[in-house]
Structure 1
Amino acid sequence: MKEYIRVDLCGSGQVDKYLNDGWEIIETAKQSYPDGETKVDYHIGLPAKVLVDKLLSVIKDYEAQGLKERLFEGVAIGFDENASDYETGMGHATPSKTARYMENYERIVNNQIVQVRKKLTQQELKERAEFGF
Structure 2
Amino acid sequence: MNFAHFINVTKTVYQLACNRRTCRSIEASRELEKYVNQLSFDEIKFIQIIMYLGRETTDEDRLKYTNRELFESQQRYLEKKSWSIRELEADHIVAKMPLDEYLEKGLGIAGNLNIQLDSYNDLDTKKDNVKKEEGTIFMSRYSRIQTMDANFVDSYLAKGWELIDTTKELSSFGETTITYHMGYPINSYIADLKGIIEKYEELGLFEELKKRLCEKEGIKIQGLREESFYLGNHPKNETVNFLNHYVNVLKNKEGNYIYEAPVKKKKEESKINENVPVIVDKDSLPF
2:202 alignment partner AA: A
* 1:68 pairs with 2:206: yes
Does 2:253 align with 1:112? yes
Tell me, in whole angstroms, the C-alpha distance in 2 between the residues paired with 1:19 and 1:61: 25
Letter in 2 for 1:81: I
Quick check: 1:22 aligned with 2:160? Answer: yes
User: What TM-score, normalized to structure 1?
Assistant: 0.79
Q: In structure 2, what is the equivalent of residue 131 of structure 1? A: none
Which residue identity does 1:102 align to in structure 2?
A: L
Query: Does residue 221 of structure 2 align to residue 101 of structure 1?
Result: no
Query: Could you say which residue in structure 2 is the equivalent of 1:9?
Result: 147
Q: For residue 40 of structure 1, give the secondary structure of its aligned residue in structure 2.
A: strand
Q: 2:197 aligns with which of 47, 53, 59?
A: 59
Q: Compared with structure 1, are the counterparts of its residues 125 and 8 closer, same or farther at alpha carbon in structure 2 (3 Å cutoff)? A: farther
1:44-99 Cα offsets, whole Å, 9 max, x none, are 11111110011001111111111111112122222222333210117861211101
Look up the SS of the partner of 2:234 in the other structure. coil
Deviation at 1:38, TM superposition (A): 4.0
**Once the 2 structures are TM-superposed, how far is the Cα of residue 35 of structure 1 from its aligned partner?**
6.5
Higher strand share: 1
Larger radius of gyration: 2
Q: How does 1:39-54 map to 2 (within 5 A)?
A: 39-54=177-192
- Alignment root-mean-square deviation, CA: 2.7
- Cα distance in 2 for partners of 1:124, 1:12 equals 72
Q: Secondary structure at the match of 1:43?
A: strand
Matched position secondary structure for 1:14: helix
Identify the structure with the greater helix proportion: 2
More contact order relative to length (CA 8 Å, sep ≥ 6): 1
| Structure 1 Cα separation of the partners of residues 225 and 158 of structure 2 | 41
Q: CA deviation at 1:9?
A: 0.7
CA–CA distance in 2 between the matches of 1:20 and 1:65?
29
Quote the sequence identity (%). 24
* Matching residue of 2:217: 79
Comparing 86-95 with 32-41, greater Cα deviation is found at: 32-41
Deviation at 1:19, TM superposition (A): 1.1
Report SS of the residue matched to 2:160. coil
Counterpart CA distance in 1 for 2:249 and 2:258 is 18
| Equivalent residue pairs, number | 127
Amino acid at match of 1:42: Y
Distance 1:17 1:82, change over 3 A: farther
- Aligned mates of 1:57, 1:125 — CA distance in 2: 43
Q: Secondary structure at the match of 2:151?
A: coil
Gaps of 5+ in 2: 1-136, 273-287
CA separation in 2, counterparts of 1:112 and 1:101?
14
